Every structure is written in structure tokens, then in C-alpha cells.
Amino acid sequence: MSRIRVDDLQKGGTPAGPLAAVTAYDYAFARLADRAGADLLLVGDSLGMVVQGEETTLPVTLDHMVYHTRCVNRGRERALVVADLPFRAYKAGPAQALDSAARLMAEGGAEMVKLEGGGPMAGTVAFLNQRDIPVMGHLGLTPQSIHQLGGYRVQGRDADAATQMVEEALDLERAGARALVLEAVPRTLAARVSETVAIPVIGIGAGPDCDGQVLVLHDVLGLDERVQPRFARRYMDGAGQITEALGAFCRDVRAGTFPDAEHSFD
């Protein structure tokens, strides 16, 4: 089982097919996702919402990201670990982005960082790339821009917006981005972006014509029964099963059936 490296992120995905990526935020789930065969573990700033219970990803700090990246890094053996640069940690300019990315790599153990945005971020991508920091871009629905975008909705629906997204993907590629996440865009546009750039495109709500797919762990496992993006497939009823298991534990304690002899020391 050889470790996936940044250079293994290729157009067309992996020899086994499109690249399979999932978000991870801690040691236990990173280990399980790695053992399950995920090629890439994304320590997404979605942790603000799914782990911390915030309404948006904006409150997530660089310290949070470093901490969670370190936990994920300890749990993986094979997968590539990519960490998000959080909202307040790179938008001030390339120098700030370099400091933040260096912490995610040196303290967290990330092998690549992801940042959101197109053309205006190209300078920052180039700056990081020239300083040996592999960068993944993120276009389409960029959750850090939620207040500019006016909501979590599909992006690039009209012709001008679609053309602009293709241009921005090219800008990021020219700046040295090694891969690109496309979130919540029509599948035809995702296919167009994928055909246009030579770097792998990893879709989330972007249809099947990408080089890989990423989903948020909590959506895959159904850990929050209240939220289910239309593009995410739930592979288990995590919320239901976990609540049931914890309920059984509480009932056993109250009934005095736990701990029993088997779980007690003489």
C-alpha cells in the first residue's frame, strides 16, 4: 500500500478510476477513511459547520485547522492529506498565505493546501507554488464567499458566469495549482472545465465528468439527519444508528444491566 503523493494527482484520477476523496477532521475517522481506500483526505474548513456547529465556515481559525490537520495526519497511512486555508488566514495577501500554509504543513502535516477563489487568488497561488507549497484551487460555490454569493446555491448557470469560471480555472492552472475542486456547478460546465484544464478536477455537486469526487464525511455517513445536500449520497443512517446505540447504553445504565460481571474487575 504505497502512500499517495501530490504527483499522483493526475488527470483522469488514479489507475483504479476517478479519485475518491472525503473530508476528515480527526484521527478516528481519518484512520477509517484511509483504511476504506480514500485517496485523499481533505481537512475542510467545513469543520466549522459539521464539527463546531457554526452557521458558516467563516469563524474557523488557523489554529483550529492546524489542530485538526495534525489529528487527521496521525490517522492516515496511504491517503494524501490536504488542508483548507481558513477565511482569515490568506486573503490579506501572499505573505499571509505563505505563513498560514507553512503552519498547516509543518505543524499539521498537510501535503497540500486548498484555497477558495479564482482570478484574484492566482497571484497567491503562484507565490505559494514558487515556494514549494502545492495548492489546490476551489471554484464554484465557495463557502467562504457565502455572503457575497447570497446563499448556498448552484454557481455558473448563465453563459457569462460559466465562461468566467473556465477562465478562472485556467488562471489557477497557469499560476501553478496542482488540482481544482469544483463545487455545485452544472455538470456540463464541470465537464467543460475538466476538458479545458490539464490539472485534475475534483467535483462536489459537479456531476460525473470530473477526475475525482469529494464529499463531506458527515453527509456520506448521515451524521446530521437535518442536512442533506441534494448532490450528496448518504451511505448510512449514522445519526439514527449512533442515537440508537447511545440510547441502548443509557437504558442499560438506568436498568442496572451495565456494567455486568464481564465488564467489572474482581
Binders of ligand KIV in range 61-90 (CB under 6 A): 84
Residue 183 known to be catalytic: yes
Query: Minimum CB separation from ligand KIV for residue 91, in Å?
Result: 15
Burial of 55 (C-beta count, 10 Å sphere; 0-12/13-18/19+):
exposed
What are 21's strand-pairing partners?
Answer: 40, 214
- Please pick, among 55, 173, 183, 195, the residue that the annotation labels catalytic: 183
Give the count of residues interacting with ligand KIV (CB under 6 A): 12
Nearer to ligand KIV, 86 or 94 (CB): 86
Report the residue from 204, 206, 221, 223 that binds ligand KIV according to the rule CB under 6 A.
Answer: 204
Cβ closest to ligand KIV, residue 97 vs residue 204: 204
Reported as type and span, the H/E element at residue 154 is none
Tell me whether residue 149 or residue 258 sits nearer to ligand KIV (CB atom): 149
Nearer to ligand KIV by Cβ, of 60 and 191: the residue is: 60
> What is the DSSP code (8-state) at residue 16?
T
Contact positions with ligand KIV (CB under 6 A) in 9-48: 23, 42, 44-46
Cβ 20 vs Cβ 219: under 8 Å: no
> Three cell numbers at 113?
493546501
DSSP SS3 for 137: strand
Residue 52 half-sphere exposure, CB side, CA atoms within 13 Å? Answer: 17
Q: State how beta strands 19-23 and 212-215 pair.
A: parallel
Exposed/middle/buried for residue 103 (C-beta within 10 Å: 0-12, 13-18, 19+): buried
Site string for ligand KIV, 121-160 (x = CB under 6 A): -----------------x----------------------
Number of Cβ within a 10 Å radius of residue 17: 11
214 forms part of the interface with ligand KIV (CB under 6 A): yes
Q: How far is the CB of 152 from ligand KIV (least distance, A)?
A: 11
Residue nearest ligand KIV, CB atom distance: 44
Q: Looking only at residues 172 through 201 of this chain, which bind ligand KIV when binding is defined by CB under 6 A?
A: 181, 183
Nearer to ligand KIV, 32 or 258 (CB): 32
Residue 201, CA atoms < 13 Å, CB-side half-sphere: 31
Answer for the pair 116, 144: CB distance below 8 angstroms, yes or no: yes
Residues that bind ligand KIV (CB under 6 A): 23, 42, 44-46, 84, 138, 181, 183, 204, 214, 216
Catalytic residues: 183
